[in-house]
Amino acid sequence: MYRDCSHVMILLLYIDDIVLTGSNPSQLSAFIHALSIEFKVKDLGMLYYFLGIEVSHLKDSIHLTRNIYTLDLLRKSNLLECKPVSTPMASRTSASCIDGSPLIDPTPYHQLMSGLQYFTITHPDIAYAVQHVSQFISSPSDSHLEAVKRILHYLKGTLGHGLSFAIPMILLYLLHTRMPIGQGVQTLVDQL
């Protein structure tokens, strides 16, 4: 992150992809140009999809969702046609490690939990429920798996929900490089 008196610029680096955002378009352009001089980068333009997160650019805001990821998780769980529920957890849930019968193969539970942990980035509304069922990751039971499936039923009913940021002039760019650039980026930011 780079901040001066009135503007901010944030860079997210994931392997060989860079997400760049900030409040000053000319500062962003100058930084992209400086990156392209120092490294071989390809400017992919405005960000619309990154790591399973869909980005919608609206007039005065951006909206982050996971519709494709949700549908994929439901499909892998054979819950694509499930009935949505209004809450991610039953209101009087008091699951414990001795509830239900142990799962013979906990792999599906582990895979769902992994997907749901990642999901909480854009769905903070499921964070408590996911944290609650993740307590049983070492020895999940059939009742724990049912609790996880309830979260998926909830997500089915919240397709299109996500996070909205009402920030004027926010721009998100996606860049791609084939070179390790971690230290070089810090040098460029220090020069701003």
Query: Residue 38: enclosing H or E segment and its boundaries?
Result: helix 25-38
pTM: 0.77
Indicate the angle between helix axes 107-119 and 67-76, nearest 10 degrees: 170
Average pLDDT over residues 165-187: 57
Contact 62, 75 (CB under 8 A): no
Phi, psi of 144 (to 5 degrees): -70, -40
Residue ranges per structural domain of the chain: 2-61+166-191, 65-162
Residue pLDDT, tens place only, 144-155: 999 999 999 999
2-61+166-191 has which CATH code?
Answer: 3.30.1360
- Rounded distance, CA 66 to CA 52, Å? 6
Phi, psi of 24 (to 5 degrees): -125, 105
Report the DSSP beta bridge partners of residue 2.
9
Residue 185 pLDDT more than 60? no
Average pLDDT over residues 131-154: 92
Residue pLDDT, tens place only, 11-53: 888 888 888 888 888 888 888 888 888 888 888 888 889 888 9
- Rounded distance, CA 137 to CA 31, Å? 44
- Rounded distance, CA 130 to CA 1, Å? 30
Radius of gyration of the chain (CA): 21
Residue 188 pLDDT more than 50? no
Confidence of residue 94 (pLDDT cuts 50, 70, 90): low
